[in-house]
Amino acid sequence: MRPDGVSSANGPSHVSNGSVTSPSHKVGLSHSLNGQASYAASNGDLHTNGVQKSSVSPPSYFGHDREEVTRILIQSLYELGYNGAASLLSKESGYQLESPAVATFRGAVLAGRWAEAERILVQSFYPDGTRRGTSGDSDHLPTKERLVLVENAEMNEMLFYLRQQKFLELLEARNLSAALTVLRHELTPLNYDIARLHALSSLLMCPPEHLHDQAGWDGSISSSRERLLSELSKSISPSVMIPDNRLAILLDHVKQNQINQCLYHNTASPPSLYSDHMCDQADFPSRPGLELSQHSDEVWYCQFSHDGTKLVTAGRDHSVIIYDTSTFAVLHKLMEHDDGVVHACWSPDDSKLITCSQDKTARVWSVDVSLASYNLDRIVTKCYTDWAMLIDH
């Protein structure tokens, strides 16, 4: 896990432990999990997670768990900015978005109250009190604040991420003595991710202007804390802390499933949510719109450039042909190979083209469309014991 985060337009949390905050203040806690959310549950202002106020409503929604559907809708309304509607839905349904423990933990992380956040984690792993928190002031936190964790959650991993964030923020503030203390007495005893620990220790000698690059950290406290919370949430049960943008993710799955089931799919436009998607068979290309006949023998390979402006074809006639896809005019014809060309590939920025031939050479070309020149940069030669076998595989 890296401590850097997705940029956020919202500030840090305004929810304090044990406070009662109105729903209109929930927008102060943003990007709680994956850097996208624009909501946060207040600590203690709603009913216990999953408890309904009324049993009048049917137990399910068309076969779906009613509580899950309602809480996802509440989350989505906050993300869409309809805070009043989200608050009203929560009040009317009796479902809260998050448990009080999650709200307290969120507030502690986003506000940088590391002792409080650690105490909640330790209590969640040791609900019977067999292990005390590591922070001196943790006794001020009620013991009822416990997270519901996933089965494979690791306490040392979660503590490492918290203390790593604390360490980096101290480095950012150039409080080197405090950062060294955290490194020696908090991070090292966890004995977790030794390679990362060594990398963090090297940052103590890093010049301030290079700290962000060396640490892989953007230095923004608010966004990095939100990213931290997002990573920590992977160890927290979604039953109490719903992953961000859950409805949007589900809708993406629906759209992709419809595309996968469309026999004649032939459009880049995303399907509408208003109706089931199915492309018309008549729109599927069944007749050639253009025939490229510049090769004199079999065409063995073709590929569009990443930007879609060029097409390369290679074939048995030893030639490689590059076309302009706006007119499909030939930009250049490469004839330097001594045998059939079986493969061609564009570099990620389309500035290079590599061609592989049965003459046991791979040729790398520098592409300059403005000059209509394809200069041979170098020839990479590699002999194969059985080239035909390589092609078959």
Considering the domain architecture, whether residues 111 and 184 belong to the same structural domain is answered as: yes
Please check whether residue 201 lies inside any domain of the structure.
yes
Name the least confident of 53-57, 164-168, 256-260, 337-341: 53-57
Question: What is d(CA 169, CA 219) in angstroms, rounded to the nearest whole number?
Answer: 8
Over range 312-327, report the average pLDDT: 93
Band (pLDDT 50/70/90 cuts) for residue 30 is very low
Considering the domain architecture, whether residues 200 and 112 belong to the same structural domain is answered as: yes
Name the least confident of 39-48, 253-262, 291-300, 352-361: 39-48
Note the pLDDT of residue 130. Answer: 58
Note the pLDDT of residue 131. Answer: 58
Question: What is d(CA 171, CA 208) in angstroms, rounded to the nearest whole number?
Answer: 8
Considering the domain architecture, whether residues 208 and 328 belong to the same structural domain is answered as: no
CA distances from 114 to 45, 100, 270, 356 (A): 23, 18, 43, 57
Considering the domain architecture, whether residues 176 and 199 belong to the same structural domain is answered as: yes
List beta partners, residue 65: 60
Dump pLDDT digits (tens) for 81-127. Answer: 999 999 999 999 999 888 888 989 999 999 999 999 999 999 888 86
Share of the chain above pLDDT 70, in %: 73
Looking at every residue in the chain, the average pLDDT score rounds to 78
Residue 212 has pLDDT above 50, yes or no: yes
Name the least confident of 163-167, 181-185, 273-277: 273-277
Please check whether residue 12 lies inside any domain of the structure.
no
Last residue of a domain, one of 234, 269, 288: 234
Question: What is d(CA 146, CA 81) in angstroms, rounded to the nearest whole number?
Answer: 29
Considering the domain architecture, whether residues 218 and 179 belong to the same structural domain is answered as: yes
Note the pLDDT of residue 277. Answer: 85
List beta partners, residue 368: 373
Please check whether residue 306 lies inside any domain of the structure.
yes
Considering the domain architecture, whether residues 337 and 223 belong to the same structural domain is answered as: no
Considering the domain architecture, whether residues 229 and 105 belong to the same structural domain is answered as: yes
Dump pLDDT digits (tens) for 159-177. Answer: 999 999 999 999 888 899 9
Over range 220-244, report the average pLDDT: 87
Please check whether residue 256 lies inside any domain of the structure.
yes
Band (pLDDT 50/70/90 cuts) for residue 78 is very high
Written as six digits, the tokens of 113 are 């109250």
Please check whether residue 2 lies inside any domain of the structure.
no
Higher pLDDT, 334 or 44: 334
Over range 363-386, report the average pLDDT: 53
Considering the domain architecture, whether residues 111 and 226 belong to the same structural domain is answered as: yes
Over range 139-147, report the average pLDDT: 59
Higher pLDDT, 235 or 140: 235
Considering the domain architecture, whether residues 220 and 270 belong to the same structural domain is answered as: no
Q: For the chain, what is the domain count?
A: 4
Question: What is d(CA 184, CA 221) in angstroms, rounded to the nearest whole number?
Answer: 23
Please check whether residue 194 lies inside any domain of the structure.
yes
Q: What is the CATH number of the domain that holds 332?
A: 2.40.10.480
Name the least confident of 63-67, 161-165, 228-232, 370-374: 370-374
Residue 245 has pLDDT above 70, yes or no: yes
Written as six digits, the tokens of 352 are 């290079």
Residue 285 has pLDDT above 60, yes or no: yes
Over range 328-345, report the average pLDDT: 92
Considering the domain architecture, whether residues 222 and 256 belong to the same structural domain is answered as: no
Band (pLDDT 50/70/90 cuts) for residue 39 is very low
Higher pLDDT, 57 or 221: 221
Crossing angle of helices 246-261/66-80, nearest 10°?
A: 100
pTM of the predicted protein model: 0.54
Q: Which domain holds residue 68?
A: 63-93
Note the pLDDT of residue 284. Answer: 76
Q: DSSP for 232-289, please give it.
A: HGGGB-TTTSPPTTHHHHHHHHHHHHHHHH-TT---SSPPPSSS-----GGGS--S-S
Higher pLDDT, 58 or 365: 365
Please check whether residue 356 lies inside any domain of the structure.
yes
Considering the domain architecture, whether residues 310 and 186 belong to the same structural domain is answered as: no
Please check whether residue 289 lies inside any domain of the structure.
no
Question: What is d(CA 210, CA 201) in angstroms, rounded to the nearest whole number?
Answer: 15
Considering the domain architecture, whether residues 222 and 104 belong to the same structural domain is answered as: yes
Residue 391 has pLDDT above 60, yes or no: no
Over range 5-18, report the average pLDDT: 38
Q: What is the amino acid identity at position 230?
A: S
Dump pLDDT digits (tens) for 309-318. Answer: 999 999 999 9
